Amino acid sequence: KKTHYFPHTVHYYSQDRNTCALLSHSVCGLAWSRWSKMSSSGWILAVCLVVLEGGRYAVWAEEGSGSERNCSAIPPYLPPTAVNTTLRLRDLRASMIPLNISAYIIPATDAHLSEYIAPRDARLAWMSGFTGSAGTAVITQNKAVLWTDSRYWIQAERQMDCNWELLRDASIRSITNWLILEIPEGDQVGFDPFLFSVDIFDIYNTNLAPAGRILKSIPDNLVDKIWTNRPPLPPDNPTHLPDSVIERTWPMKVDQIRAQISDNPYKPTAVLLSALDETAWLFNLRGNDIPFNPFFYSYTLLSMDEIWLFVHTERITEELKVYLNTTCYHSYCVQLLEYSSVRSYLQSYLQRPNVRVWVGTEYTNQALYELITPEDKLLTSTYSPVLTTKAVKDATEQHILKEAHVRDAVAVMQLLMWLEKKVPEGTENELTAAHFVDQCRSKQKNSRGPSFETISASGPNAALAHYSPSNETVRKLSVDEMYLVDSGGQYLDGTTDITRTVHWGKPTDFQKEAYTRVLMGNIEISRTIFPAGTRGVNMEMLGRRALWEVGLTYGHGTGHGVGNYFGVHEWPVGFQSNNIPFQEGMFTSIEPGYYKENDFGIRIEDIAVTVPATTKYGNNYLTFETVSLVPYDRKLINTSLLSPEQLHWLNKYYETIQSVVGHELERQGLKEEYDWMMKHTAPFLTAGASAVISSVTLLVTVLPSVLLHNLL
């Protein structure tokens, strides 16, 4: 609640109306008790004292400018998007004292190391106010610090109050160096082992142990203990996929993974699955525990002759029990165990003689890993056999995922056509655009909602790579600004993710050049031919080269895997150093960009599938087939920068859109959208300094179809 202390000058933001009473011995309490005895200037001084008292209390300037905090001002300026964390930090620090820890680490993940998490697992957001998907907080008795990468620096400055310090770095080395400087040798650093992967824990421990700082595992999360209104477990039950979208039944998938267990020369007896999409994929199940992601809380322990599924058993319907053969005990029967019993049951399995558990260290949490002793009972790989097997889509998965992208293209074209009409009228903003594309997708076959919160960003907001509009930050769409929309849909047969950047007015020469160079990077990766087994990191620079040539770049990854009605960011496919080599049948995004701070942002993102390439001499080569089928903004393309090969690729891509999406638009009876698509996919000429099309082609695309028929 906001309480007005001094009209038209400052606001004191309170977590509840009793904040000052609770802190009656603080400077805040002093200022409150003496308010009526002070002059205006004296009261302002008291407010300043509150601010200087460790920077603990959020003070908002009524007439401040800008959307980011300014904690050095007197009084500090905090935007309405910032969250008051004073009481939360006080309570957490109190809980640290009896545990004898000098610092506590809070990552932005859950017990399954998920990128997107349920509201009940958003501990970092609740403690700090920062809602970005990547970040780590460390809290000591006198400091609270957040580390995050360049995608989120501005967002963090908008959401955190002055209790917090932002360090513009995302590396664990930066965090551990800070801890070594801040806490004495021999002191303990607390952490929740469920929120640390095996690999992440090793990095922390390798950095801290030689310096005499001790990591202390605390399985009972300290934030959960003080989070009195923590969201409950969602009520929805898991469901199984219909046969129409499945080529491999779950027993067939079990056979695939068991074959890999059997063939492994290190002779594991079981594999432990911790990532949520591992269990969901293995059993062809989907859930609704995490917004935008069709997952449910689960672990699986799979041996050669037994299957244990750890879930909230009260949510497993009788139909699912029959589907999973839960009432029998042979090797294709699933034994249901309580989700919270995974640690105790794993311990009991490890008591058996001659067992060895195979874990993928990227997605197994330290809480389970630390139980697997002695070492001869453990086998590790970066990724589990389920994740590497799931990364290659079978023929059915490839077919239906392509179909989902065709229907998705219809929805995105409807958005772009609508914006072309409405933006000049000055009636739309970032939120209405985001809602409109959601509505368009909801009308498509097999729609299951968005695959993530739509990034709908105009002008300077688009310079934030992962910005999403809110009532406090929403910006009206204008013909004078560039607009970026990054959105996706969940469909029963696939997951989509696509970004388009447009300009409805007259872009500057620099905007056109930057856009064209981003497009060149997209095309260069899309058209490249490479040996099967090539790692994405070895091709990633193709997406940056055209930007690097003029001294531009971007601060995010160039691509990520995408699933079949799964997570929109699906590991381990992509262009980063820890992604697996590309094989035929993998789907990845290709998404270079450029962002000019406080001005505009550009990203062009498509999903592509790896397919065999025909070469003159060699075999076993691959290339990418783009399955996102929405035209780029002609107004922003400077064709004089494109090579003949890039221009040829672009024209062939537009031919595919006309053929594939054109058929779907006609099938859905969307005549206006069809005409819009034909106009925006007219072929480019090979000469000229802008995105020109022949007058004959333009005439054909804009003439009414009846008149055209008469002319022909």
Which tens digits make up the pLDDT trace of 506-530?
Answer: 999 999 999 999 999 999 999 999 9
Question: Is residue 284 domain-shared with residue 215, that is, in the same domain?
Answer: no
Domain membership flag for residue 53: no
pLDDT (0 to 100) of residue 536:
98
Residues 257 and 219 in one domain: no
Q: Answer yes or no: is 637 within a domain.
A: yes
pLDDT, tens only, 285-323:
999 999 999 999 999 999 999 999 999 999 999 999 999
pLDDT value of position 66: 63
Is residue 495 situated within a structural domain? yes
Q: Indicate whether 32 belongs to any domain.
A: no
13 strand-pairing partners:
2
Preceding peptide of 75 cis, ω within 30°: yes
Note the pLDDT of residue 151: 79
Residues 467 and 584 in one domain: yes
Quote the number of domains for the chain.
3
Q: Are 282 and 272 in contact (CB under 8 A)?
A: no
Residues 404 and 343 in one domain: no
Q: The whole model's pTM is what?
A: 0.86
Please indicate, yes or no, if residue 695 is contained in any of the structural domains: no
Distances from the Cα of 213 to the Cα of 100, 183, 186, 190, 506, angstroms = 13, 8, 5, 11, 58
CATH of the domain at 182: 3.40.350.10
Whether 408 and 394 have beta carbons less than 8 Å apart is answered as: no
Q: Please report which helix (H) or strand (E) contains residue 44, including its range.
A: helix 40-52
Would you say the C-alpha torsion 569, 575, 580, 582 has a positive or negative sign?
Answer: positive
Q: Is residue 155 part of a domain?
A: yes
Predicted local distance difference test score (pLDDT) of residue 235: 87
Question: Based on the domain organization, do 366 and 503 belong to the same domain?
Answer: no
Q: Whats the size of the chain, residue-wise?
A: 712
Residues of the chain under the 70 pLDDT cut: 1-66, 686-712
- Integer angstrom CA distances of residue 421 from 266, 435, 634, 637: 63, 16, 16, 21
Are 213 and 301 in the same domain? no
- 567 burial level (CB within 10 Å; 0-12, 13-18, 19+): buried
**Is the distance from CB of 537 to CB of 558 less than 8 angstroms?**
no
Distance, in Å, from the CA atom of 390 to the CA atom of 405, rounded to the nearest integer, reads: 19
pLDDT of residue 19: 35
User: Which amino acid belongs to residue 62?
Assistant: E
Alpha-carbon gap, residue 265 to 252, rounded angstroms? 22
Q: Please tell me the predicted confidence (pLDDT) of residue 687.
A: 54
Axis crossing angle, helix 671-680 with helix 395-422, rounded to the nearest 10 = 90
Instruction: Provide the domain limits for residue 99.
Output: 85-226
The helix or strand, by DSSP H or E, that contains position 276, with its residue range, turns out to be: helix 276-282
CB 584 within 8 A of CB 611: yes
Do 363 and 399 lie in a common domain? no
208 and 299 in a single domain? The answer is no
Strand partners, 502: 483
Q: Single out the residue of 154, 157, 135 nearest to residue 146, CA to CA.
A: 135
Cβ contact 69:158 at 8 Å: yes
Q: Residue 617 is part of a domain; what is its CATH number?
A: 3.90.230.10
pLDDT at residue 470, rounded to an integer? 86
